[in-house]
Amino acid sequence: MTIKFEEWVSDVKVVNTLGGDWQVRIDGSSLHDELNKYDQKARHTFTIGSGFNGEAEAIKHATEWLHAQLKSVTAKK
């Protein structure tokens, strides 16, 4: 079974790291993840871009990445 993008992603974050560069991260959980002892699903975080010189550049990358993902989801329907 394939996990669909729109069922997985729950948050997109643009963060300034301690090293001073900017990163774009996505958070999500699978519909198929089991609940833990606190009745919560496991959270997964992936960095989809790093090394940006500023927040605006990181936001632009996040927007372009999300647009490309949603476009591919729409094309499959």
Q: What share of the chain in percent tops pLDDT 90?
A: 29
Domain count, the chain: 1
Overall residue count recorded for the chain in this entry: 77
Output the pTM of the full model: 0.69
The answer on pLDDT for 17 being more than 60 is yes
Cα Rg, the chain, nearest whole Å? 14
State the residue range of the domain holding 44.
5-76
CB–CB of 31/9 below 8 Å?
A: no
CB–CB of 35/15 below 8 Å?
A: no
- Exposure of 58 by Cβ count < 10 A (0-12 exposed, 13-18 middle, 19+ buried)? buried
How far apart CA 15 and CA 75 sit, in angstroms, is 30
Q: Which residue has the higher pLDDT, 41 or 62?
A: 62
